[in-house]
Structure 1
């Protein structure tokens, strides 16, 4: 499932539109050596139509490995072309988006989570993607869509996609999606989490790999999921909104590495070198200081001076032309004791989050032989 030279994806950072860009991933990699990083979702059409400008969308520093490219789309020809074009950038895995509930993506049967209603097409798409890359492929999906939310329907999707394609890795967001007009934010909150569906998939598909996603907000909860048998855990907004406390414990608490003792001041010194080296590389003053420094706004989450740092940075974005000058102006609000402190102890979390999950699992999946015949018809 993974490239041999990297540790397995016990922990990964979820693909998040307008958040997990190349700048955030640079910060994440400075904090954690072993976390698997995902790009924002890129539409296959964007890659195809921007063929002459691909570095802007696909290039990344080599330090960001292991890294997964997530693509979306519903046109087989464009998915094939996009994957072939992306292969030149040497991502470690290609992931196909079957989980985004945004109306812009999933509305009108376009792509994203609505594709879960057409597993035969997803199988064909994954075969096309796999045929145009030499790295593993995976699918990110929900546990259901609207009223198509039974465990058997989820299993039908997994069974059909894995039978029709080389897909052996699924990332399961353990909520269904509602496509009746609620916002993507509400889709992350309103449908109930059903972790028992995820653990039942481990039981019923022992030859596949599954990563759990949804509602997991601390390293303690990541380890709780792994203790109950999860193959891997994906964390989204918590890793963006509090990168120091989440990513800062990944290497030691999850992968068993020794602490480096690094401080946020050291992280910022390295990030400054990166940030000032990429300002304006896309032309028209893009990226600018605000875009490059955006992920840093959450580096001092819940620390003394955090509010002052954000206010000063927001003001400095209006006139600072370098990351260095931004730091000189805005970091004065952060005490030296915060800047120079290594990562502390692992924050508390819900150790019992998955305690009873095996008692809640649905009955084992039994696929319909007639469905199998229709699948290959």
Structure 2
């Protein structure tokens, strides 16, 4: 989620959820290598964001190794290689992202190089297939090759294939059908590997339903960005069994405003600026009374505001106090049958999936 899950969004996400694993936006290896005198702009993050995973992209072994070595100094909790992005800028001209799934041998070598240059776990984010290379057998070959050639023991599986021509990145998130059966078959056929489920999950109840079906972890991307309060607000209690923060949106915004105004102009006169800092906030009142008016006021106020504090002072009167001061409440819904009878969806030769014990699940916030 380039230009989306940046430091500002992750700061907001961590204010809402203490325990969700956070993923960075994809950072291209060449950017890290060639900007090594300005790395803080791309890699630095507040300590409060732990646990956090750095996602990198690239197709050059030397640059992936160098980038990982430089990033290792920032103490991320995991390094992830993106093998799932279908964007033409990445999979086409860049020759990485989802296109890497065509070459599992290279991905295995890349993960070995990444692991050799960091002291944290490494993982791969991928699709279930690309173009006509979309059989379950081919997905197993990809996983098996990467596992055999590297220490990789964690895969984030977007349960759709990617189509590299004819579909936009947005269409690639909706048009290819979801095949959750591939994910659950991987759980059984690779018992020593951890798999995170991604794709089509838009509510916290779908997260908990998938965990009940045996999913190790669940990744939520755009749903957590487009509705952060309702999506992330229930993670600590529903997924981790921890007490829910009783913070209101007003309190969250007060903390975020202190963060925002303290870093404004940190990397030059316009980096970051008020508009960049406000961007993650625009969905905080999703479906609430006053949301439309607040967005209209935000649009006009951004034209002249110089601080985040002044922006909030000029716009928040559009939101009723009952919304601003209400603590997180259970507002998510369950989509009946969304994960029903998963065993029946498995390919015939991979039937009889059983749901054994699994590690503590994690909800993470990034997606391709």
With the length of structure 1 as denominator, give the TM-score of the two structures. 0.91
Q: Distance in 2 between matches of 1:109 and 1:278?
A: 32
Pairing 1:269–2:268 present: no
- Residue matched to 1:223: 208
Pick from 160, 168, 177 the counterpart of residue 192 of structure 1: 177
**Aligned-residue offset at 1:109:** 7.0
Query: 1:351, 1:251 → 2: CA distance?
Result: 23
8 Å CA contact 1:38, 1:68 repeated in 2: yes
Task: Choose the corresponding residue for 1:92, options 74, 77, 80.
Answer: 77
Which position in structure 2 is the counterpart of 1:50? 35
Q: Could you tell me how far apart the structure 1 residues matched to 2:295 and 2:38 are?
A: 33
Give the match for residue 357 of structure 2: none
Match of 2:142 among 143, 154, 157: 157
In the aligned structure 1, how far is the partner of 2:267 from the partner of 2:112?
Answer: 34
Partner of 2:309: 324
SS at match of 2:90: helix
Runs (4 or more) in structure 1 with deviation over 3 Å come to: none
Partner residue in 1 for 2:282: 297
Q: Deviations over 1:311-349 (max 9, x none)?
A: 111111111111000001011100111000011124112
Secondary structure of the structure 2 residue equivalent to 1:220: helix
| Within-5 A mapping of 1:1-377 | 16-107=1-92, 110-362=95-347, 363-364=349-350
Structure 2 CA distance for aligned equivalents of residues 258 and 61 of structure 1? 23
CA distance in 2 between partners of 1:345 and 1:68 (Å): 28
- Work out whether residues 124 and 156 of structure 2, in 8 Å CA contact, stay in contact via their aligned partners in 1: yes
The structural deviation recorded for 1:257 is 1.1
8 Å contact kept, 1:101–1:112: yes
The alpha-carbon deviation at position 24 of structure 1 amounts to 0.1
Deviations 1:166-189 (A, max 9, x none): 000000000000011310000001
Are 1:224 and 1:351, in contact at CA under 8 Å, matched by a contact in 2?
A: no
Q: Note the residue ranges of structure 2 that are not aligned, 5 or more in a row.
A: 352-368
CA contact (8 A) 2:26 2:54 kept: yes
How far did residue 108 of structure 1 move?
Answer: 5.0
TM-score (norm 2): 0.94
Secondary structure at the aligned position of 2:312 is classed as helix
Measured in 2, the distance between the counterparts of 1:290 and 1:130 equals 37
Write out per-residue CA displacement over residues 79-103 of structure 1, whole angstroms, 9 at most, x where no aligned residue.
Answer: 0100000011100000000000001
DSSP 3-state at the match of 2:133: coil
Q: Which moved more, 1:41-50 or 1:313-322?
A: 313-322
Task: Please give the per-residue CA displacement for 1:284-320, whole angstroms capped at 9, x wherever unaligned.
Answer: 3211001011100100000011011111111111111
Which region of structure 1 is more displaced relative to structure 2, 309-318 or 18-27? 309-318
Return 5+ residue gaps in structure 1 as ranges: 1-15, 366-377
Superposed CA offset, 1:4-29 (max 9, x none)? xxxxxxxxxxxx11110000000000
Q: In structure 1, how many angstroms separate the alpha carbons of the residues matched to 2:87 and 2:63?
A: 21
Contact 1:224/1:352 (8 A) holds in 2: no
Cα pair 1:168 1:208 within 8 Å, conserved: yes
Task: Sort the Cα spacing of 1:281 and 1:150 in 2 relative to 1 into closer, same or farther, 3 A.
Answer: same
Secondary structure at the residue paired with 1:304?
A: coil
